Amino acid sequence: MAKGELFENLREYRTALSQQERETAVKGLIQNARIAGKYFYSLKETCAILHCSRDELQTILHQFRLDAVLFLGVYRIPWYDLAGFILDDHDDTLQEDLNEYLQEIIRRNRSLPGINAD
């Protein structure tokens, strides 16, 4: 096992979740919340559920695509945010469209006469 990697065989965890795997994962999260009272997941458990590495999860957290709660220096992922992330349409371009619109506004304002961008 390479140092810093979460799983021994990363190839089986790198594949994207299929629609059936997503539904099964969400049903499991809901069942754990209802029956077992498990409301928060560690980073390692979240990586196993999402089939991603810790670096990929860290990127997801830094891009604010998934929320985390800090309990006494340890990050935990709430079950409802994890379920929402799994069910979210990854082909949705709303965020990219918003960023492009904001950049267009900035470009337009810089081109107005009498305004210095310096």
Work out how many domains the chain is built from and give that number.
1
Within a domain: 54? yes
Residue 94 included in any domain: no
Q: Is 74 within the bounds of a domain?
A: yes
Domain around 40: 11-89
Judge whether 26 lies within some domain: yes
Q: Which two tokens stand for residue 29?
A: 């999260």
Residue 4 lies in a domain: no
Residue linked to tokens 């979240």: 46
Instruction: Determine, yes or no, domain membership for 109.
Output: no
More confident residue, 75 or 10: 75
Report the C-alpha gap between 12 and 30 in whole angstroms.
25
**pLDDT value of position 78:** 94
pLDDT in tens, 16-36: 777 888 888 889 998 988 898
Average confidence (pLDDT) over 52-76: 88
What's the pTM? 0.62
Number of Cβ within 10 Å of residue 25's Cβ equals 18
Cα gap 48→101, rounded to integer Å: 36
Name the packing angle between helices 54-62 and 43-50 (round to 10°): 100
Radius of gyration of the chain (CA): 19
What pLDDT score was predicted for residue 75?
92
